[in-house]
Homo-oligomer: A and B are copies of this chain.
Amino acid sequence: MKVAMIAPIAWRTPPRHYGPWEQVTSLLTEGLVKEGLDVTLFATADSITSAKLVSVVPTGYEEDKEADPKVLEYLHISNVFERADEFDIIHNQFDFMPLCYSKLIKTPMVTTIHGFSSEKILPIYKKYNKHVSYVSISNSDRHPDLDYISTIYHGIDINNFPFNPDPKDYLLFFGRMHPDKGAHDAIKIAKFFKMRLFLAGPIQDEIYFKEKVKPYLSEDIKYLGSVGPEKRGEMLSNAICLLHPIYFNEPFGLSVIESLACGTPVLAYNRGSMREIVDESVGILVNSFEEAVEKFGLIYNIKRSDCRKYVEKRFTSQRMVSEYIEVYKRILNSN
């Protein structure tokens, strides 16, 4: 089966630091190649893959401030569709834009919807609802007006996340510095218990970081910047608990799974996909800061080995890869 994989081009595939869409695209691509599929990855030229790499864009537009994202986006996407006939299926990981080319080619297309940046992009998903197969990344992220061929939860390469039964003494926050991700609540929780906290992730909202995070940094509450893949496992595996006090309906939540893989349980605000990806054997779901401090102690009842097993069973990239292959087959059979 010949697959064209359209990566986003905000970052390299896989990303150097942040870049969850590119991360998942990379894991899936490498997994498909391992399963023997003939995959062509359309991504930035500095991407690293065992698939055939096709690039018309040197590097991610988020990594090159001179780049014109709109120009790169158009060059990247048109290049895929101009070669559509070479493939049995096109898998789009790059949001709504590629949908708009899909009726001009014969190759069937599947799109992983990594989340809706706003309601304003819905008209495009609705327009191509019957024409392109949509995969949701959690049931909670499904939009009632759209049809989906499947929900496929992200998987991770569990080898990158070492299990550690014996953590150090800190709490960990892992996510963008943005009100949605709730770093400010993580700080409140750590302060309440007078515990150490590390915060890791890129600064997406400068004002938020300046007003809600920076003033509270101290000897015990440290911001580490964006942490690349090589340090991620170490950071996560040494934490007592991952704090995930989100203020938005998170479509999936990769860092939660990565944390659990290391044996580190999760305290999360119960929004978006959290109830689907965290059960009571591996984490605590709460609805507020007050409930978080009330229930925090339950974290110590969770067995770290259960967290690891939970991910091994449900959230490996192998599982994700097989589910996508299944979807490709269903699409090709129905065509």
**Minimum Cβ distance to chain B for residue A267 (Å):** 35
Task: Name the one of B68, B75, B96, B103 contacting A71, with C-beta atoms under 8 angstroms.
Answer: B96
Contact partner, A105, options B74, B77, B104, B127, Cβ 8 Å: B104
**Of the 9-residue stretches A116-124, A302-310, A312-320, which lies at the interface with chain B?**
A116-124
- Tally chain A residues at the interface, Cβ within 8 Å: 23
Central interface residue in A78, A81, A103, A123, by most chain B CB within 10 Å: A78
Instruction: Name, among A100, A104, A124, the residue most crowded by chain B CB atoms within 10 Å (CB to CB).
Output: A100
Q: Which residues of A (110-148) have their CB < 8 Å from a CB of B?
A: 118, 120-121, 123-124, 127
- Contact in complex: B75, A124 (CB < 8 Å): yes
A118 to B71 CA separation, bound complex (whole angstroms): 11
A101 at the binding interface (Cβ < 8 Å)? yes
| Stoichiometry (number of copies) | 2
User: A97 an interface residue at 8 Å Cβ cutoff?
Assistant: yes
The answer, among B74, B84, B97, B104, for a CB contact under 8 Å with A81, is: B104
Q: Is A169 an interface residue (CB 8 A)?
A: no
CA distance A124 to B230 in the complex (A): 37
CA distance A269 to B78 in the complex (A): 40
State the A residues within 8 Å of B (CB). Answer: 67-68, 71, 74-75, 77-78, 81-82, 84, 96-97, 100-101, 103-105, 118, 120-121, 123-124, 127
